Every structure is written in C-alpha cells, then in structure tokens.
Amino acid sequence: GVDVLIGGHADAGQEAPYVHPETGTLICQTYGQGTRLGYLKLMVDTHSGEILDHDGRLLVVESNALVPHPVVAAKLADYRARYPEVDEVVGRTKARLTRKYNAESDLGNLMADILLAYGSTDMAFVHSGGIRADLPEGPVTREDLLDAFPFIDFVNVLEMTGAQILDVLEQSFSLERGVLQVAGIKVEYDLSQAIGDRVRRVWVGGEPLQPERVYSVTTFDFLASGADLYSGFIGAKVVVDDGPEFAELLEAHFASGEPVAPPRGGRLVPVS
C-alpha cells in the first residue's frame, strides 16, 4: 500500500531508487551531511493513481562552489573566533579514514583499536552510529575529530560470557542500528540467514569463541547501558565505569606524533 519511501540521515545512500520486487514500492535514500540532493520524478496515471514510470538519482552537492549564505557565514566566523582551538591541527593521517554503517570500516577499526589498547582487554566494540564523519588524508584538526565523534561517551570495561558476546553480535548483524566495529576478534557472518542466526564463526585472539568462557571487553558507557537496541550488554559485569572520555583518547592517539594509517582489516567477514 506504500508507493514511495524516502529516507535519509543514515549515511547510506542509494544512487538510484530500489524497486521492491514484490510490492513495487520505490525506496529512495540520500547520504548524510548534505553531500547529496535526492531527486525523484514520477509519471502517474491521474485516474488510477498508479506510478507508470520514474526517474530518480542523487545529485552531488558541490558545496565549495556555492556562495556562502551571509547569515550562516557570520555565525560560523563568530563561533570560530570564540574557539580558535577547534581549528588547531592535532595530527595527520596517511590516507583518508572512512566510516560505514553496515560493514567494517577503517575509522571503526581505528576507534576499536584505541579502546582495545586502553583497556588491555580481549576485545573492543564501537557502534557504527556513533561515527559521524570520515577523517581526511593529511592534516587532521580538532574540528575533524569532533565531526567524526561529537559525543561525550566514557570508556567502560566489562566482563562478558561468550554467549553474551554472541548475542550482541547477532544484534549487530540484524542491521537494525548498524554493525559493531570490533578489535581483538574476527567474525564471519551471513546476511542471507534469518536475523538471530547470521553469525557463523567467531575467533578471539585466533581461538574459537567459547560460550561459557568469560572475556574482557572495552566499549562505551553508551553501549554498556544497552542503547541502540544492544540490550545484551546490560547483563555484563561492569569492571570499570569511570574511564576517560573517548574523545580525549582519540585526540591523544593523533597527537602521538606518527601519521595514522588505516588499521588492519578483515575483522567482519561476509560469507555465504
């Protein structure tokens, strides 16, 4: 009964409308951050209301070619004058670090690695919904880091059984709130299977995940509270609940002196 669905915000756009094979519903979605403008033109039978044809696509927004709006430009200039430290270069990257909502990403791996190193735990988890922008190649400012992670999330260390970890991984691959970015583990998953039965195999430090074994986990207090539908974290034992803000760890990592390279991948492996 729905002819057209239009979505946005999820940072996962579709260059052309997807036509549902059973209902014929047109599903359109733009990326986030104002980088695309969604365009959809419909040819409709005015008597029956049936959609006879469509033309849809995403138009690239060349923001640097647009004349700044004077009111917005004045507000930005005022804020930048108040907080000049935002424009300070805090580090560099060897290559652009990108994010993905429903798959493993360079930036997600980096953030998970930072958590793993801080907690010295078996594994670390980062929710993809908390990663809001890519990091450019070359100089990285404090503004870039704030764009990428604009939240006040504190680091927690938990103890979780293998069964609890499997539960949150299954929730991850339901794709209801994006996948968990991980460090310390490797996960094979199959999205063609039913939700709740998509995780095929999990390795922790090269060894198979044991359901009864207790593992140490570093993550954010956001996830530890069961947010973003990750209720499997709620039953975990909290070992450290007063860790630092992750934003501070992220900046310290870039301020260490060495240019940051994309981390090793191959952690979330789709199989069929």
From the CB of residue 151, how many other CB atoms can be counted at a distance below 10 Å?
A: 13
Residue-wise pLDDT for 212-241, tens only, equals 999 999 999 999 999 999 999 999 999 999
pLDDT at residue 272 above 90?
Answer: no
Residue-wise pLDDT for 167-215, tens only, equals 999 999 999 988 999 999 999 999 999 999 999 999 999 999 999 999 9
What does DSSP assign to residue 64?
A: G
Cα 181 to the center of its chain, rounded Å: 8
Structure tokens at 170: 């299954």
* pLDDT of the residue at 23: 93
| Residue for token pair 């709620």 | 234
pTM of the model: 0.84
Residue type, 39: Y
> Smallest Cα–Cα separation from 177: which of 8, 5, 10, 18?
10
| Residue for token pair 């209301």 | 49
